[in-house]
Amino acid sequence: MSEPTESPTPDEQPPAQILPPDVPSDDAPDDGTEREEPGPAVEEPAKVMRIGAMVKRLLDEVREAPLDEEARARLASIHERSLHELEDGLSPDLVEELRRITLPFADDRTPTEPELRIAQAQLVGWLEGLYHGLQTALVAQQLAAQQQLTQMRHLPPGLLPPQADGPHEPGDGRPSPGQYL
């Protein structure tokens, strides 16, 4: 007998396979060439969600309280660290996109409050767009799976499963499913 295993925490589970909505279907290409399997768009969704929630909360804090130079320097450091942590949980194409849209703070001075607000708001907006894209992809996958299941359930006209038209009576002309031992 095997011993029961504990269920893994979300951080220990294998990466989720969430694909963007423009991923082609599983049908083979018409030209006879093999198609490369796309990787997951978000390799660590739980991590991305946690960092996104933290960044959003930091943006709220920046809006509500005046920050001295030390607090602004700390927030800039947290912002940079958040970007690096996000990169670990994203696919290479999303990392590239994130790097293109975010501008680094100047090294020679502490960022101003407006600079911090803009950087944080930009990151929150990008993450919200990512979340919406993931939700759209999940809905598209669910619809495709539902459509495929519906197609699989359709039988050729005139054929019904034996159990679909009532209980089976011996000698009623329908084939029996076999003998049970």
**Count H helices, E strands: the chain?**
4, 0
Sequence-separated (6 or more) residues with CB below 8 Å from residue 23: 38, 137
* Average pLDDT over every residue of 140-145: 92
pTM of the model: 0.57
Q: pLDDT value at position 137?
A: 86
Q: What percent of the chain has pLDDT over 90?
A: 10
Give dist(CA 70, CA 89) in Å, integer.
29
Using one digit for the tens of pLDDT, what is the confidence trace for 28-55? 444 444 444 455 677 788 888 888 888 8
- For 68-115, how does the pLDDT look when each residue is reduced to its tens digit (9 = 90+)? 899 899 988 998 999 999 898 888 999 999 999 888 888 888 999 888
| Contact between 115 and 105 (Cβ < 8 Å) | yes
Q: What sign for the dihedral angle of Cα 138, 144, 147, 152?
A: negative
Please check whether residue 59 is in contact with residue 114, taking contact to mean a CB–CB distance below 8 angstroms.
Answer: no
